[in-house]
Structure 1
Amino acid sequence: MKILMVSIFAPHFFNWTEQLRDSGHEVYWLDVFDSNTHVEKIDFAQQIIGWRYKKNFKGRYFIKNRAPKLNRIVNLLNERKLTDVLESKIKEIRPDVIHSFVIYLSGVPILPVIEKFPEVKWILSTWGSDLYYYREQPKYLEGIKKVLPKIDYLFTDCKRDQEIARENGFQGKFMGVFPGGGGFELEKLAESSKPHEERNIILIKGYQGKHGKCVEVLKAVSGLREEFTNYEIVVFGAAEEVFEFIDSSDLKHWNNLKCLEKLARQEVLELMGRSLLYIGNSSSDGMPNTLLEAIVMGAFPIQSNPGGATAELIEDGKNGVLIEDPTDVQELKNILKEAINGSQDLKAGVAYNFEYIRPMLDRGRVREQVLEKYKLIESEI
């Protein structure tokens, strides 16, 4: 089967697509924003990059940085349109299916082209806030409602989004819930996972802004200095606002707090493997990838639950704790205090995750299931 992937340049996408290596399918990828970068991880796929500019003339970057108005005019003349390039590639490749990743970046923009090729089946993968948040934004909802009725097959990273898709016009075949980036290589990762008794890190995801609510977690932490004295507190992937908050609060005097910027995925996994608790807090998400990483690496998860997505894996108080209001600092403070003072049986929660949740996230197992879904699609073409 010829599969034309349409996606932004994203690790989630590369990890998903890598599952198709040696699958017998002929895979193509159109980079919707054209990073013009060949990705070795999916080197088996034919990568459509370097398409945006008709001419990469000398002085283009100088104009872009020094003369933005002139740059806009030049781009109007020099840039190719995504829709034109996609239409040309469909005619050239003649794919059996087109697989879009993230509806508002790789689905809505290409709808006019898709409608010209009704014989080509359309697959959509959603993850994160793709449906949950953007359905509440009128500008985005309009596009979502136009795209979903055209989708033949749908993958999501949580059950919640299947329901949202149905409510907004999806009438095709639901292919199931899978981690957005595929599964995890559990045997390799086991080497980086410390025994529960040797863990002393409280790990906090540092996202802040439209959805991330790390500052609220830090406000709660700042009121528990005595309880956290014997732990190392690590904030990773910290946004600028997080650094600013720490600098303006008493936390800047805490010798056991470390704030880090963006880390490579392997570094995050290794941190998870040394952490006692993992705290992720946001107002919108799908099934958080960092939650899955915490489960796989043996950290007890404390995670926000927008729209009930997290509750699909976490039973509150058993194998993790659900944050129902990501903006309620007092709730966060109570949750953290109970986790630290022994009210939560962290070891039992982690043991449950290792026995019942972790095996479902094995990359080999997930890949086998995903390939079965593609095989089913192929049989229906």
Structure 2
Amino acid sequence: MRILMVSMNSIHFVRWTQQLKDSGHEVFWFDILDGGRAEGLPWVYQITGWKQKFPNFKGRYFLKKRVPFLYKKLSFLFENNTEKVFEKVLHDVKPDMVHSVVMYISCVPILNVMQKHDTLTWIYSSWGSDLYYFKNIHTYKQDILRVLPRVNHLITDCKRDISIAKKLGFKGQVLGTFPGGGGFDYKETNKYIKPVSKRSTILVKGSQGRSGRAIEVIKALELIKEELKGYQIIVFGADKEVENYITRKGISTKILLKVLSRSNFLPHDAILKLMGEAMIYIGNSNSDGMPNTLLEAIAQGVFPIQSNPGGASSEVIIHGENGFLIENCNDLEEIKKLIIKAISNSELMEKAFEINQNNIKPKFERTLIKKQVLNAYSKVLKN
């Protein structure tokens, strides 16, 4: 089977596609943002370098950076039309199926072409806030309502999005719910897992921006500085807004806090090592699907305190058993109480560790998920 993947270049896309290696399928990739080759996919036929009409034109970057509104207006002079290029790709590749990853990046720009080729099988992978957040914004919702009736098959990263997709017009076949980057290989990361009794770090995901709510977590931590004596707080992947807040408010002088900036690349292996040494992981946002970071934290033995937008996180966390759910991501009092409850209950920590290691973690093991994913593609072939 010839599979044409449509996606931007990202670590999760690469990991997902690696599951198709040696599967017997021919895999092609149309790099929808033309961001450059994916070094982790040397066996995939990669369609890149298609966007710029004049790739050596030196003034293009200057225009795009200094006068973006003008560049956007004149972009037709510098850039090839995505629909025309994609239609030529379909003609050249002749795929048995097209698999788009993420709605706005990889479905909407090729919708008109896919409607013309209405007998061509189309799979859509919903990730993160794809449906949950953007269905509430009129212009985006209109695109969702146009795309979903054309899509033949759906893959989600959480069960919540299946019902949302159906309400918004999806009438095709659901192929399954899997982590965005496929399963996790535990062979290398198990060595980082420390016993619960040896952990004293509180790890905070430092996302802010549109959906992240790390600053609310930091504010909650400020409120309990006395209770946190003896604990090291590490804010990793910190956005500039989060860094600025910590500096402006002098948080590091009130609690033992270390910031690992998003702008200073932290290798994935280093993050997993941090998780293996952390007692509590806190992830807080107003919108997400099933966070890969949450699943990695659970696998590394951390006690998770995680926001629960639309009930997605409750698919893996039973509140008060193997973690805590934040129901209101802006409620400092709720977040504060959950942190105090966690650090004062070592028995709960031990119990959660056992549940997560024995019951939750095995469900997301790489080999198991890969088998399920390949079975999902086989279902499409049979149809």
Q: TM-score, normalised by structure 1?
A: 0.96
Q: Alpha-carbon deviation of 1:265?
A: 2.0
Residue 375 (structure 1) shift:
1.2
Secondary structure (helix, strand or coil) at the match of 1:27 reads strand
Describe the SS at the equivalent of 1:273: helix
Give the counterpart letter for 1:49 in structure 2.
T
Give the equivalent residue in structure 1 for 2:200. 200
Q: Distance in 2 between matches of 1:105 and 1:264?
A: 26
User: Counterparts of 2:181 and 2:347 in 1: how far apart (Å)?
Assistant: 30
Counterpart residue number, 2:98: 98
Query: Which residue in the other structure is 1:281 paired with?
Result: 284
Q: Which residue is equivalent to 2:377?
A: 374
Q: 1:92 and 1:347, CA in 2 relative to 1: closer, same or farther beyond 3 A? A: same
What is residue 119 of structure 2 aligned with on the other side? 119
- Alpha-carbon separation, structure 2, partners of 1:350 and 1:50: 47
Is contact 2:222-2:255 (8 Å) kept?
A: no
CA distance 1:124–1:67, change in 2 (3 Å): closer
CA–CA separation in structure 1 for the residues paired with 2:249 and 2:342: 23
- Matching residue of 1:42: 41
Identity %: 44
Partner of 2:302: 299
1:187 lines up with 2:187 in the alignment: yes
Q: Which residue of 1 is the match for residue 149 of structure 2?
A: 149
Shift of 1:189: 1.1
Structure 1 68/355 Cα, relative in aligned 2: closer, same or farther at 3 Å? closer
Query: One-letter code of the match for 1:44?
Result: W
Report the Cα offset of residue 249 of structure 1: 2.2
Distance in 2, Cα, partners of 1:21 & 1:107: 24
Task: Tell me, yes or no, if the aligned pair for 1:338 and 1:344 is still in contact at 8 Å.
Answer: no
How far apart, in 2, do the equivalents of 1:313 and 1:62 lie? 47
Instruction: Within 5 Å, give how 1:1-381 maps onto structure 2.
Output: 1-35=1-35, 37-60=36-59, 61-65=61-65, 71-72=71-72, 75-254=75-254, 256-262=256-262, 263-342=266-345, 345-380=348-383
Cα deviation digits, residues 159-186 of structure 1 (max 9, x gap): 1000000000000000111001101111
SS for the counterpart of 2:188 is helix
Q: Distance in 2 between matches of 1:349 and 1:90?
A: 49
Structure 2 CA distance for aligned equivalents of residues 57 and 356 of structure 1 = 54
Shift of 1:51: 0.3
- Say which SS state the counterpart of residue 234 (structure 1) adopts: strand
Is this contact kept in 2: 1:129–1:286, CA < 8 A?
A: yes
Offset of residue 43 of structure 1: 1.3
Aligned mates of 1:318, 1:366 — CA distance in 2: 25
Q: 2:308, 2:167 → 1: CA distance? A: 20
Gaps of 5+ in 2: none
Number of equivalences: 379
CA distance in 1, matches of 2:337, 2:113: 52
The one-letter amino acid of 1:174's match is V
Change (3 A) 1:109 1:349: same
1:206 and 1:344 map into 2 onto residues whose CA distance is: 28
C-alpha separation in 1, matches of 2:69 and 2:213: 36
TM-score by length of 2: 0.96
- Separation in 2 of the partners of 1:320 and 1:88? 50
